């Protein structure tokens, strides 16, 4: 027999009278809040950053996936509001956690944000609420961390309140898929929790994919990102081997992908960026130690991808020496692109930051241009770069650098002008060849 809490919450979700609370209004939380609000639910967004509240109050979005117009529409319709006051969690029927899950310096999971958020929810927990974790983490976190903290109130999961996990699948800059059109994997602690998860997310997104347990759903997200990390590491390693043989890895991939079966193209680059792929695989590595099992593929992929910035700078130094007769230590370099991928402003874990750091460790001077990142914000690992501003790449400015290092292939850059004004270009994205702008002074790395 269903519990009264389940019956009450089911009716609220079915009639769209449930209020959703979304904690963390960043790249995941704000687009999710908009999708849930558009589906007819009232949404309260929670964040500890008062700067975000100022922007939201002004109907100004700071996330590319959410336009100012879309944000204003939900606020003006009364379906979305934002606050730093977590006491409002008591009024929410569905509470979704979208906070960061970084790694420590030793590559151990840092669940401090998840734990602190869970404690904030516990302070306002009441019967009839569904609490969902969306932050990427190792299998077991939802049940062993979030649920345990919430049950510390004396209320019980599965009867008083309900717990579920649904991994975020955001892809900043993707023009083909957005939050509401990406299939949503859902799981719950028990049959009733899963039923609520399917009902709630089914109302907000185009399709849901239920799985048997929260741990399974957590493993789904890790598997998706490990798949990408390992395959990117493979082509990065092939790049270094083929380059030594005088073979262009980009030409190899372009030819290989014409095979209509048994092959999927992945592309090399200057390193891995973003919050997911460089970080998430190591959550499984950490958890696997509990079972005394190695994760050799994951760790090797991490080593290869982490080595790419140093490899690229090595190719840069070699090109400067051979083509300009100048040491990197006496050179000025313009790094093109600070974001970790093209056409977004996201610099989380961006290899461009590491490239700048290595160039300057070797005595060179590095500036950057990025049409989406006017100034380098505070970061945990690159405090010395804070406050540097993007350089405008006029022909005269570009000509003043000894080399241009293309780290991110933003579409809005005038690459034809760069070819004319730069004396040396080191291209890590194959953008000049793709645009038919190959030249003797354009070197691939």
Return the active site residues: 276
Which residues neighbour 412 within 8 Å (Cβ) at sequence distance 6 or greater? Answer: 343, 371
DSSP 197-256: HHHHHHHHSS-EEE-S-HHHHHHHHHHHHHHHHHHHHHHHHHHHHHHHTT--HHHHHHHH
What's the full length of the chain, in residues? 445
> Burial code of 357-372, b = ≥16 C-beta within 10 A, e = fewer?
bbbeebebbbbbbbbb
Other Cβ atoms less than 10 A from the Cβ of 85: the count is 8
Q: Residues 281, 229: contact at Cβ < 8 Å?
A: yes
Residue pointed to by tokens 């929790």 = 193
Contacts 24+ apart (CB under 8 A), 158-161: 158/3, 158/189, 158/190, 158/192, 158/193, 159/3, 159/5, 160/3, 160/5, 160/127, 160/128, 161/5, 161/125, 161/126, 161/127, 161/128, 161/129, 161/130, 161/131
C-alpha span between 435 and 419 (Å, rounded): 11
Structure tokens at 408: 């991110």
């Amino acid at each position: 027999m269903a519990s009264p809490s389940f019956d009450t919450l089911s009716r609220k979700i079915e009639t769209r009278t449930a209020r959703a609370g979304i904690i963390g209004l960043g790249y995941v939380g704000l687009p999710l809040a908009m999708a849930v609000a558009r589906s007819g639910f009232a949404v309260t967004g929670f964040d500890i950053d008062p700067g975000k509240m100022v922007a939201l109050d002004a109907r100004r979005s700071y996330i590319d996936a959410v336009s100012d117009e879309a944000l204003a529409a939900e606020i003006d319709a009364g379906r979305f509001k934002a606050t730093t006051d977590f006491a409002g969690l008591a009024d929410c029927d569905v509470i979704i956690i979208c906070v960061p899950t970084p790694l420590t310096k030793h590559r151990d999971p840092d669940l401090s944000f998840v734990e602190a958020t869970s404690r904030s929810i516990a302070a306002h927990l009441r019967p009839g609420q569904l609490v969902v974790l969306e932050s990427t983490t190792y299998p077991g976190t939802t049940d062993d961390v979030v649920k345990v903290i919430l049950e510390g109130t004396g209320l019980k999961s599965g009867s008083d309140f309900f717990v579920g996990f649904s991994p975020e699948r955001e892809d900043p800059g993707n023009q083909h898929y957005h939050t509401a059109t990406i299939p949503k994997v859902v799981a719950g602690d028990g049959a009733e929790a899963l039923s609520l998860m399917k009902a709630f997310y089914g109302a907000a997104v185009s399709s849901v994919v239920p799985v048997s347990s929260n741990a399974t759903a957590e493993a789904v997200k890790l598997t998706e990102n490990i798949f990408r990390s390992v395959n990117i590491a493979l082509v990065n390693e092939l790049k270094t081997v083929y380059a030594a043989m005088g073979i262009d890895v980009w030409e190899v991939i372009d030819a290989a992908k014409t095979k209509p079966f048994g092959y999927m193209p992945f592309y090399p680059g200057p390193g891995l960026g973003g919050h997911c792929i460089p970080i998430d695989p190591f959550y499984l590595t950490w958890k696997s130690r509990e079972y005394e099992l190695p994760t050799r593929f994951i760790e090797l992929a991490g080593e290869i991808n982490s080595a790419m910035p140093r490899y690229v700078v090595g190719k840069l130094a070699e090109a400067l020496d051979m083509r300009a007769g100048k040491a990197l230590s006496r050179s000025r370099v313009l790094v093109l692109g600070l974001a970790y991928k093209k056409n977004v402003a996201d610099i989380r874990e961006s290899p461009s930051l590491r490239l700048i750091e290595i160039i300057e460790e070797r005595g060179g001077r590095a500036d950057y241009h990025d049409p989406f990142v006017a100034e380098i914000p505070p970061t945990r690992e690159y405090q010395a770069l804070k406050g540097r501003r993007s350089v405008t790449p006029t022909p005269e400015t570009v000509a003043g650098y000894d080399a241009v290092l293309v780290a991110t292939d933003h579409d809005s850059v005038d690459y034809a002008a760069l070819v004319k004004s730069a004396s040396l270009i080191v291209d890590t994205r194959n953008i000049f060849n793709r645009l038919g702008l190959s030249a003797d002074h354009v070197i691939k790395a």
